A = this chain, B = another copy of it.
């Protein structure tokens, strides 16, 4: 159903500036040179906008990609859609490598994200346990990266777009956990710096202090 808000803009992304899942979609669109309109959905407000309720009635979550009035929801789903419509650029051509990339994207979503949440909202022993797990997971991702420039090789791709938004919380991890990621995961941190040299990433990742401040409020971190 085409609506007036799409009449002048074929592609719209509805997102919140600090939403790591949504940053993926915005980075992918920039990588592929797709112009889009950005609509901010303030997730600090409890009530979702009429646009979000209409475009994603099932989850009422962002990001939402609206293309010609039709919504695509879910960040990994959006990346696949973006690549199918405006690519193929983000995914390796080899099915096994594609499956490998999707496997690790799922690892980020199912493991890293929940460990991050546990780490930020807990205290004492639980916090220490979550911190250990988080570092272990980041080191595992560092192993997957190996000595490659980007996760799939020489070109920035799907798994890079999936993971790089989390780096906007790395400063927060360090502050909250009292560790130095340059010491813990040096190759991963070099990859972060390489990614941040890209216009697509630089234009999307928010200020790290601002990110940590927001999460401190969110999780009641003193």
Tell me the A residues contacting B by CB distance below 8 Å. 58, 67, 70, 72-74, 77-78, 80-81, 84-85, 95-96, 98-99, 102-103, 106-107, 140
Residues of B within 8 A of A58 (CB): 107, 140
Contact between B77 and A103, CB atoms less than 8 A apart: yes
4 smallest beta-carbon distances between A and B, as pairs: A84-B95, A81-B99, A72-B99, A77-B102
Q: List 26 A-B contacts (CB under 8 A).
A: A58-B107, A58-B140, A67-B96, A70-B96, A72-B96, A72-B99, A72-B103, A73-B103, A74-B102, A74-B103, A74-B106, A77-B99, A77-B102, A77-B103, A77-B106, A78-B99, A80-B98, A80-B99, A80-B102, A81-B95, A81-B96, A81-B98, A81-B99, A84-B95, A84-B98, A85-B95
CA distance A173 to B103 in the complex (A): 31
Residues of B within 8 A of A73 (CB): 103
Residues of B within 8 A of A140 (CB): 58
Most buried by B among A67, A95, A106, A140: A95
Q: Which residue of B lies closest to A105 (CB)?
A: B77
Residues of B within 8 A of A99 (CB): 72, 77-78, 80-81
Give chain B nearest CB distance to A209 CB in angstroms: 32
Q: Which residue of B lies closest to A81 (CB)?
A: B99
8 new A-B pairs (CB below 8 Å) besides A70-B96, A72-B96?
A: A72-B99, A73-B103, A77-B103, A78-B99, A80-B102, A81-B95, A84-B95, A84-B98
Residues of B within 8 A of A102 (CB): 74, 77, 80
Residues of B within 8 A of A70 (CB): 96
Residues of B within 8 A of A81 (CB): 95-96, 98-99
